[in-house]
Homo-oligomer: A and B are copies of this chain.
Amino acid sequence: MGLNEMRRVAVVGVGMTTFGEKWESSFRDLIAEAGTNAIIDAGIEGREIDGIFGGTMASGKFIGQEHIGALIADYIGLNPVSSTRVEAACASGGLAFRMGFMAVASGLHNKVVVGGVEKMTDVSGDEATVALGGAGDQEWELFQGVTFPALYALIAKRHMYEYGTTEEQMASVAVKNHSNGAKNKYAQYQREIKVEDVLKSMPVASPLKLLDCSPLTDGAAAAVIVPLDEARKYTDTPIEIIGAGHATDTIALASRDSLTSLKATRVAADYAYKMAKVTPQDIDVCEVHDCFTIAEILAIEDLGFFKKGTGGKATQDGETQIDGKIPINTSGGLKACGHPVGATGVKQIAEIVWQLRGEAKDRQVNNVEIGMTHNIGGSGATCVIHILKRAD
């Protein structure tokens, strides 16, 4: 048996909560709202669902709760259905989607809901920094005083040194993503910013400033996955999952060959492109993991959209805008839409599904047939990629 013999699988429903500081909603409320929205969007009955896959990173630290799979099944009213939590730091949502895909492709499950969720604002900023530090190598990084923005600052410094990338180019990532976020009713920040705003914002870890960084966010997103041959019972526009890649790298940044390219992205993308039988030129729209502005520049280079070292200039030149050569982060990305770490990977799927269905409203890209999601865990120790296509 090879990949060709796997059952073909499609997304037939997506849903999410608004992203932001949601003081009025608990972790349970968030996942229930997103899950319900996806189930309603699919027009599927709860009793048809035979599996749940949930991604969340640090619920133990953020809300004192583990055993998240069972909690989700309980709170969306689907117990005793099989429910599995996966964790890969900020790639937890993308990895949950991969498990849902695998579950239906295998035949072990038939119709599943995938959810991603994080409730990050119930703890102090310091506590959140420590919790997020668990995405890196605690023994070799956080315990030595290296916070998460500091890791990406090292990456940014090296990219500037090797390729002449500028702070203005990084700022242009934030400007573009805020422009897109301003068109997205789910986004945490629905306002435009200018390059000067980024440059004069508070330094966090030089050269990264506040507006180079994604925020702390509460939120959830969900998707319904079924076999392709049953998908048209639920929707006229099933979105097939045609490629899936997942790779790892050393968890500590210092152990890697390069700071300016993520091996996990390259390996996962290579696998996903081959599985989907497409090339970077075939991708019409892509959500990438812009936890910091430099991360988007690395991603659009490592995914093959731009030559290594030219991602900053391409962004500055408008090539990744909604009407550009390859529209990146039409949702607003992590930067403007917000980054509830476990939810982000599933929100990326929702955005691509809306784009492929032609439902992205003011952010709609013209003539889209194939879309991609790129979800990173930590400073690049995990990458999860999916390629989706409007079914014929």
Contact = CB atoms under 8 A, between A and B. Distances in A.
Interface of A: 1-3, 5-7, 26, 57-61, 63-71, 73-74, 79-89, 95, 98-99, 102-103, 105-108, 130-131, 133-139, 142, 227, 244, 246-252, 255, 263-264, 267, 377-378, 381-382
Contacts of A227: 1
A389 to B, nearest CB: 18
Contact of A136 (B67, B89, B135, B248): B67
A230 to B, nearest CB: 11
B248 A80 contact: yes
Nearest to A246: B82
Nearest to A105: B106
For A82, A95, A246, the residue with the greatest tally of chain B CB atoms inside 10 Å of its CB is A82
A264 B69 CA distance: 13
Contacts of A251: 67, 70-71, 74
A122 to B, nearest CB: 12
Nearest to A104: B106
Contacts of A377: 67, 70
Contact of A67 (B59, B67, B378): B378
A288 to B, nearest CB: 19
For A58, A87, A142, A247, the residue with the greatest tally of chain B CB atoms inside 10 Å of its CB is A87
Contact of A244 (B68, B108, B255): B108
Given A79-B248, A108-B3, A138-B65, A84 B74 contact: no
Contacts of A64: 130, 133-134, 138, 142
A80 B267 contact: yes
A2 B107 contact: yes
For A26, A69, A130, the residue with the greatest tally of chain B CB atoms inside 10 Å of its CB is A69
30 contacts: A2-B107, A3-B107, A5-B107, A6-B107, A64-B138, A65-B134, A66-B87, A66-B89, A66-B131, A67-B134, A67-B136, A67-B251, A70-B88, A70-B248, A70-B377, A70-B381, A71-B137, A74-B248, A74-B255, A79-B250, A80-B267, A82-B248, A84-B98, A84-B246, A85-B86, A85-B87, A85-B88, A87-B87, A99-B99, A102-B102
